[in-house]
Amino acid sequence: MPSSLHRRRLLLLVVAAAALRGAPLADAGADTCKAWLVQSIPTDMPHLSRIPGVLSTGDVLQWLSGNATKSLDILAQYWQFLPQPNNPKSGDYGFSESDMRRFGADEGRRVYKALENAADRKIKIRIVQHSGFAPDFDQESADLAAGRPNVENATVLFEDWWGSGVVHAKVWISDKKDVYIGSANNDWKSLTQVKELGIYFAGCPQIAKTVEVYFQNLWTLSTLNSTFYTKQAWDTQWQVSRKVPCWSHFLQPKERCRFASPSAGHMQRSTT
């Protein structure tokens, strides 16, 4: 069986390939579109260093926040950029502040500070996330939005639509032209304690537009009442009944509805 890291790399390549297929580099912003590999490597591993030319995850996330002039869209599973060594419910509990510094937790603080600065500059920030995990792993995004009308949070609960699942994508889109797609969570440990891999696209509006479709679909999903837009479908392969959105291909074509656009006030029945 492939390792977890190998599976993660394969998934990343598939997502990136899908983005590139939707927006070929030749059309992605001419010679202004550039891409770099992005990596996180745990501290205290002196024999495992980044290859020259490969960027740091923490640096890229700070650039996306710091360079944003209009908008920043973020897909996240949970938040813990700020270490919590004094919280008994946190995995950080019991470590000292000096331990946190040695582990590289300050990198998470810097990324979160860059986000706060972007919010204070009145950058329009939209966040789509899961509801978080214990102890309070959606608190940082809530704090970011508190008192800032330019910051919006949306929570998508996949179990309401498919019976299970979480928002697992990690995507940042800055000014509709710069994009991070990768495996790193919004967690300081994903910056300095876990091997992570991603791709950073700079000056690539067409690629950003393609990825934005995925973000916008989840944003729209968060505004819909799943009670009205889910059905039970029979999975012929696994011989089980599944809860699915009413536009799912598990349903017969005549039973499907169209996915709602952001401006749509209702669903339309599919004719295809």
**pLDDT tens, residue order, the chain (272 aa):** 445 544 455 445 545 544 544 444 445 555 689 999 999 999 988 888 888 999 999 999 999 999 999 999 999 999 999 999 998 888 899 999 999 999 999 999 999 999 999 999 999 999 999 876 665 688 999 999 999 999 999 999 999 999 998 888 899 999 999 999 999 999 999 999 999 999 999 999 999 999 999 999 999 999 999 999 999 999 989 999 999 999 999 999 999 998 765 444 333 333 33
pLDDT of residue 48: 86
Q: Are 236 and 125 part of one and the same domain?
A: no
Q: Are 208 and 246 part of one and the same domain?
A: no
For 55, the 3-state DSSP assignment is: strand
Among 15, 46, 190, 201, smallest CA distance to 107 is for 190
Q: What is the pLDDT of residues 184-198, one digit of tens each?
A: 999 999 999 999 999
Number of domains in the chain: 2
pLDDT of residue 98: 93
Q: Are 147 and 263 part of one and the same domain?
A: no
Q: Are 122 and 236 part of one and the same domain?
A: no
Cα 62 from Cα 188, distance rounded (Å): 13
Q: Are 255 and 154 part of one and the same domain?
A: no
Cα 140 from Cα 114, distance rounded (Å): 13
DSSP string, 178-231: EEEEES--EEHHHHHTS-EEEEEEES-HHHHHHHHHHHHHHHHHHHS-TTTSEE
Which domain, by its residues, includes 272? Answer: 227-272
pLDDT of residue 51: 86
Q: Are 16 and 119 part of one and the same domain?
A: yes
Q: Are 141 and 247 part of one and the same domain?
A: no
Q: Are 235 and 133 part of one and the same domain?
A: no
pLDDT of residue 30: 54
Q: Are 253 and 120 part of one and the same domain?
A: no
pLDDT of residue 209: 97
Whether this prediction's pTM lies above 0.85 is answered by no
Q: Are 124 and 69 part of one and the same domain?
A: yes
Q: Are 126 and 73 part of one and the same domain?
A: yes
- What angle (nearest 5°) sits at the alpha carbon of residue 54, between those of residues 53 and 59? 110
CATH number, residue 129: 3.30.870.10
pLDDT of residue 90: 86
DSSP string, 169-188: -EEEEETTTEEEEES--EEH
Among 14, 47, 2, 1, smallest CA distance to 183 is for 14
Q: Are 149 and 246 part of one and the same domain?
A: no
pLDDT of residue 268: 38
